Amino acid sequence: MQEGRVAGAGPADYMRGMSETEHSAPLLPILIYPEPVLRKVARPITPADADEVRRLVPSMFATMYRAPGIGLAANQVGSLLRVIVVDVAPKEQPTPIALINPEIIARSDETATQEEGCLSIPDQYAEVTRPARVKVRYHDVAGIKQEIEAEGLLAACLQHEIDHLNGVLFVDYLSALKRNMLLRKLAKAQKR
């Protein structure tokens, strides 16, 4: 999810407590719509993927913070593994979360509308209505099963990034007219 008008962390101050190796994680290219991999469904991660995930997650955080963004899904950087990284906290208090095989297990009936943007659809924003609260089950990078309950910006970000893993973009929630206008603006910006 693109940072846009939300305060986020800068590239130099992420993941307090990470080793120097992780701080120097290579940046990854962010794929831009209409790249076909953005519409593909990511596959579940298995224990055989552990080494790849350990290499991927620090680079995803580094790439997300540099963008700047508040969330990033693996397929946005060309990997079809079910992993997302998020951090919606202010840059003075970074709170990075890596979610392996995340799944939404509960949604509120109440909805909330927030302006969303996407690192794969740069500099384009629209109001998106989603469930106001969600509960997400996932594994952390140590392989431990976790659950997180979220509302507000974190809930929207988690839903946005999990959508990416299912080949869904935030523009899919817009009317055809709004979606086409936004994607035309993106195409025009890319030509410049």
* The pair of three-digit structure tokens given for residue 79, joined into one six-digit string: 């990997």
* The pair of three-digit structure tokens given for residue 45, joined into one six-digit string: 């991660």
Distance CA 59, CA 30 (A): 11
Owning domain of residue 91: 20-191
Q: What pLDDT score was predicted for residue 92?
A: 87
Is 82 domain-assigned?
yes
Distance CA 31, CA 120 (A): 6
- Listed as own residue / partner, the contacts of 172-177 with beta carbons closer than 8 Å and 24 or more positions apart are 173/128, 173/129, 173/130, 174/126, 174/128
Which CATH number goes with the domain that contains 123?
3.90.45.10
Q: What pLDDT score was predicted for residue 130?
A: 98
Is 85 domain-assigned?
yes
**Closest C-alpha among 72, 32, 4, 3 to residue 187:** 32
Distance CA 131, CA 134 (A): 7
Is 1 domain-assigned?
no
Q: What pLDDT score was predicted for residue 91?
A: 84
Is 136 in contact with 179 (CB distance < 8 Å)?
Answer: no
Is 98 domain-assigned?
yes
Is 187 domain-assigned?
yes
Told to judge if 161 belongs to the known catalytic residues of this protein, a careful annotator would answer yes
Q: Is 8 helix (H, G, I), strand (E, B) or coil?
A: coil
The structural domain count of the chain equals 1
Distance CA 7, CA 59 (A): 21
Is 61 in contact with 96 (CB distance < 8 Å)?
Answer: yes
Q: For residue 47, what is the DSSP state? A: G
Is 5 domain-assigned?
no
Distance CA 63, CA 78 (A): 13
Alpha helices in the chain (DSSP H): 20-23, 50-66, 152-165, 176-191
Q: What pLDDT score was predicted for residue 32?
A: 97
Q: What pLDDT score was predicted for residue 9?
A: 31
Q: Which of 3, 20, 147, 161 is labelled catalytic?
A: 161
Distance CA 171, CA 153 (A): 18
Is 164 domain-assigned?
yes
* The pair of three-digit structure tokens given for residue 53, joined into one six-digit string: 């995930």
Q: What pLDDT score was predicted for residue 19?
A: 35
Is 8 domain-assigned?
no
- With vertex at residue 131, the alpha carbon angle to CA 127 and CA 132, rounded to the nearest 5 degrees, is 85
The model's pLDDT over 84-122, given as tens digits with 9 standing for 90+, comes to 999 999 888 999 999 999 999 999 999 999 999 999 999
- pLDDT in single tens digits along all 192 residues of the chain: 866 543 333 322 323 333 333 468 999 999 999 999 999 999 999 999 999 999 999 999 999 999 999 999 999 999 999 999 999 998 889 999 999 999 999 999 999 999 999 999 999 999 999 999 999 999 999 999 999 999 999 999 999 999 999 999 999 999 999 999 999 999 999 888
